[in-house]
Structure formats: structure tokens, C-alpha cells
Amino acid sequence: MDFNYFLLNSTDFFKDTHEYFGLRRKFNGIMPWVDMIVGPLITIISYIMYGSYDMFSLLSFGKSLMVFREWFRYFELSARLKQWKKIVNNSGGPNISTNDPEYHIFVYADGMQRLHNSIFKTKCQVLPRNH
């Protein structure tokens, strides 16, 4: 995908970044890998050994499919954020920084939002303060 795709078609950069942030935290642990690999293996082995499976095995298999779907989404968002980083760096950014490297991905979401706003000439509306 190219520069124009990300700037013209993606308008909710922070939503994607929040989703990526949650998935990155999820897949840093061991449980998703157990759900993706161990659960289906137990289902397959129990079917081979006993010739049948129970409802819990099917639920485990279904859960592993859902976790695999999230894993693929995580890699999709990861590739998207790498493109954002490249675009923001090539345009002279990032314009802000953070002291915590874990949250640095939000810097690139901000950079993409700023680029998007500058292309479409949108201005941030300041709301009046209520006294």
C-alpha cells in the first residue's frame, strides 16, 4: 500500500493504534499461544486416541480460531503502523515525543492525523470554556 492510501483512506488513526496496543499486550503473554497451539493439539490427539471429542474440545478449537483471527489482525496493524512510521519520518516528523517507548506508537498516529488534517485543511475546533 502506498502513501496516498494511508493518508486519504485512513481517518481513525488512534482507533487502529489503540487496537494494536491491546493486541500487542495480549500476544506478549503465553496464554494466546496455548490457545492457538495446545488447545487444537489436545482436540486432535483426543480424537485420534478415543475416536470422539467432547464439547469442551470443540469450544477450545473455536477459541483457537478466534485467537488466530486476532493474531492475523495484529500483524495487519503492525504492518500498517510500520508504514505510518515511514510516512511520518519522511515528512519531517514526528512532531511530538513520549518518554515511554511502549506508547511511542501513538506518536505516529498523531503524525498521521496531522498529515491527514493538513491535506484536508481541517482545523481543530476549540470549544468555549464553561464558567
Q: What is the DSSP letter of 91?
A: T
CB 3 within 8 Å of CB 86: no
Query: For residue 17, what pLDDT is reported?
Result: 95
Query: For residue 122, what pLDDT is reported?
Result: 57
Query: For residue 120, what pLDDT is reported?
Result: 74
pTM: predicted TM-score of the whole model, two decimal places: 0.78
Instruction: Summarize pLDDT for 12-40 with one digit per residue, the tens.
Output: 899 999 999 999 999 998 999 888 998 88
Q: How far apart are CA 35 and CA 27, in angstroms?
A: 11
Residue ranges in the chain whose pLDDT is less than 70 = 1-11, 121-131
Query: For residue 126, what pLDDT is reported?
Result: 47
Query: For residue 47, what pLDDT is reported?
Result: 81
Q: How far apart are CA 72 and CA 127, in angstroms?
A: 40
| Of 79, 61, 60, the residue nearest 1 (C-alpha) | 79
Query: For residue 129, what pLDDT is reported?
Result: 54
Q: How far apart are CA 92 and CA 87, in angstroms?
A: 9
What is the residue type of 2?
D
CB-based contacts of 96: which residues, under 8 Å, 6+ apart?
107, 110, 111
Going from N- to C-terminal start, the domains of the chain cover 3-120
Query: For residue 96, what pLDDT is reported?
Result: 83
